[in-house]
Amino acid sequence: MLVTLQEIIALADEKGFCVPAFNVYNMETVMGVAAAAEEADAPVILQVYPRLIREESGYYVSPVIVAAARAARVPICFHLDHGAAELEVHRALRWGATGIMLDGSALPFDENVALTKRAIAAAGAVGVAVEGEIGHVGTVNDEKMGELTDPQEAAEFVRRTQVCCLAVLIGNAHGHYRKPPKLDIDRVGAIREATGGLPLVLHGGSGIPDEQVRAAIAAGVRKMNVGTDVCCAFADGTAAALADPNRSVAVDLFMRQPIEAVKRLALEKIRLTGAAGMAR
Ligand code: 13P
């Protein structure tokens, strides 16, 4: 069933698990994640980068996400990831998104607040809540990491915006880490406390050691994003299909292997985040 960001986050917070949020790019990645969610009886988020919403691919993949969510027995949210401008927010909502992230984390604080509040007004008009970000989560290729999220600044941001959940920088980054990260788990607890128990979001979920993911969840992370691992699973599945001498050239049959590879990856993350069996 298609559910909103606030519904799926509330379910996770009530039961004390974390919803895995998978970045999807095409019908096959959607199919792989949806099949895993059904098999594991898990709530999941299917999210798209704003690039897809700005460009043509989102026009095609959005209805696929909505169809997969509506057909599923488990709760699925369709989320805009890292929305940075009103055009992306409005277009994602028109294309059926039931969750919005507004990422103004690279902007001065007051501009981040103002832009996030505008997204909240637009999304709120159609009953959709917003994820914000304080402390800019960069990529593994950045020269140096930004300042980790300050709990008091996070609390002030939440008070002024009323976001539904908050992405934080605690030693995480987007992409495959060159060496294993060392997450500041105490900071997760401190931010959670300072914000009055707000559900927190961990970006850069590909390659964080399992025990650190579990510790972050125990401290208050309720949504974890996984993007790079989805791409790698899909690419590896495609390479394996190409190497198979008995492969079919019919594209739907050829795609079975990449879909299965994405499904296996999604099952792994669903189990890691404690979402398995939490659909009801
Ligand atoms: P990874 O690509 O590192 O898994 O990060 C995904 C993400 O945080 C998307 O917002």
Query: What's the rounded mean pLDDT across residues 27-37?
Result: 98
For residue 249, what pLDDT is reported?
A: 94
**Does 128 have pLDDT greater than 90?**
yes
pTM above 0.85, yes or no: yes
Catalytic residues: 81
Q: Is the CB of 29 under 6 A from ligand 1?
A: no
Which residue, by CA, sits nearest to atom 5 of ligand 1? 204
Pick from 102, 116, 199, 127: which is nearest to 157 by CA? 116
**The pLDDT of residue 6:** 98
Interval between CA 177 and ligand 1 midpoint (Å): 11
Cβ 174 under 6 angstroms from ligand 1 = yes
At residue 78, what is the residue type?
Answer: F
Distance (angstroms) between ligand 1 centre and the Cα of 227 equals: 4
Cα separations in angstroms, 36 against 13, 22, 67, 77, 119: 22, 11, 16, 15, 31
CA–CA gap between residue 198 and residue 131 (Å, rounded): 11
Quick check: CB of 50 below 6 Å from ligand 1?
Answer: no
93 alpha carbon – ligand 1 mean position (Å): 22
What is the mean predicted confidence (pLDDT) over 8-32? 98
CB neighbourhood size of 57 (10 A) = 15
pLDDT digits (tens, 9 = 90+) for 152-172: 999 999 999 999 999 999 999
pLDDT tens-place string over residues 64-103: 999 999 999 999 999 999 999 999 999 999 999 999 999 9
3-state secondary structure of 108: coil
Nearest CA to ligand 1 atom 8: 203
User: What pLDDT sits at residue 280?
Assistant: 79
Please name each of the domains of the chain with its CATH number: 5-272 (3.20.20.70)
Task: Please list, in sequence order, all residues whose beta carbon lies within 8 angstroms of the beta carbon of residue 112, skipping any fewer than 6 positions away.
Answer: 104, 105, 132, 133, 134, 157
Distance between Cα 157 and ligand 1 center (Å) = 23
Distance (Å) of CA 213 to CA 29, 177, 185, 216, 230:
23, 14, 9, 5, 17
| Ligand 1 pocket, residue 227 CB under 6 Å | yes
